[in-house]
């Protein structure tokens, strides 16, 4: 697995099968956009590394985990751009634009 980092912080891992896995908590939800974001710099790196799927594992407060899937192109082409106070541009994809299910086992 290849660790993917932003500003020296690991944000997820790219598996050998070119699937990017990242764990998120409910505090990472962009309620304004009803979705989750991925840094534009991460998306570009994933694209260069041949990633074909992004899997975001949302760990909920009730102890369940929900799995959201999309492609890097989905985020780049359909995502809403957002820049936070740290000048990190992200692309936010709504939950409706991602495949989703509840996990009963780990990826």
| Predicted confidence (pLDDT) per residue in 49-81, tens digit | 999 999 999 998 888 899 999 999 999 999 999
Number of H helices, E strands in the chain: 2, 9
Given a cut of 60, whether residue 104 has pLDDT beyond it is: no
Got the DSSP string for 87-103?
--EEEEEEGGGSEEEE-
Average pLDDT for 7-27? 94
Domain boundaries, the chain: 2-102
pLDDT at 73: 93
The pLDDT of residue 107 is above 60: no
């Amino acid at each position: 697995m290849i660790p993917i980092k932003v500003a020296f912080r690991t944000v997820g891992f790219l598996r050998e099968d070119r699937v990017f896995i990242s764990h998120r908590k409910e505090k990472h939800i962009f309620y304004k956009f009803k979705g989750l974001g991925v840094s534009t710099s991460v998306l570009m790196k994933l694209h260069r590394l041949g990633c074909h799927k992004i899997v975001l594992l949302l760990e909920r407060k009730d102890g369940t985990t929900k799995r959201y899937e999309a492609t890097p192109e989905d985020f780049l082409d359909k995502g809403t751009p957002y820049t936070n106070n740290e000048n990190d541009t992200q692309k936010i994809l709504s939950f409706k634009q991602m495949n989703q299910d509840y996990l009963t086992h780990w990826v």
